[in-house]
Amino acid sequence: MKKHGLLFSTVFGIGQLIVKTNPSDPDCCYYLHCPTFNYTVTPDTTNDRLNAIDYTQTYLTNPELVKDVKLTLSATFPNLQQPENIVKNLDNLTGDFPDAFQWAGEINVFKHALVGNGFFKGGKRSVRGSIELSFFISFPFSSVSLPSPPLSLHIYPLSVDFAPHPCNT
């Protein structure tokens, strides 16, 4: 990686999985190919866990690679529309991989592309009027041993008015 000019990177995963309502339906590998509630996009730690395995077993065990390239592992599963399991899932990840996760995100605050796949279904709708800075300050990463972990947020500008999407009304 160093010979290509890569000296540092944040290791992001895919923080959600497509879950089929009907097991007999065809698989969908990309959410924009199947934007219906039959293929909901659900927060999931699977990719974060796979990245943590690679990070701890491949990257951290290679002293030459660690010396040449700085990688920072990120927990990407949190979705602020469905915050109820964030702390439990983060505790599970950090318990299984102590000191591995040093970043959080890209956390979905509002991801318009996922609306057709139930982004708001069953969750709390974080729109401009209800997003409060105090929520981010008290973000569950406080359970990690970092004083103030970096966060990456996926959000449209707060100056945008978010009208209800037809499939969520």
**Res. 121: pLDDT tops 70:** no
- Coil, helix or strand at residue 48: helix
Q: Would you state the pLDDT for residue 110?
A: 67
- Coil, helix or strand at residue 153: strand
Give yes or no for a contact between 73 and 52, defined as CB atoms under 8 angstroms apart.
yes
Query: How much is the mean pLDDT over the chain?
Result: 75
* pTM, rounded to two decimals: 0.73
**Res. 9: pLDDT tops 50:** yes
What's the whole-number mean pLDDT along residues 74-102?
A: 85
Residue 129 pLDDT grade (very low, low, confident, very high; cuts 50, 70, 90): very low
The CA distance from 103 to 55, in Å, is 13
- Give the domain range for residue 152: 2-168
Q: Would you state the pLDDT for residue 167?
A: 41
Number of structural domains found in the chain: 1
- 21-31 pLDDT, tens digit each: 999 999 988 87
Residue 112 pLDDT grade (very low, low, confident, very high; cuts 50, 70, 90): low
Between 168 and 104, the more confident residue is 104
Q: Which residue has the tokens 């569950």?
A: 140
Residue 133 pLDDT grade (very low, low, confident, very high; cuts 50, 70, 90): very low
- Coil, helix or strand at residue 99: coil
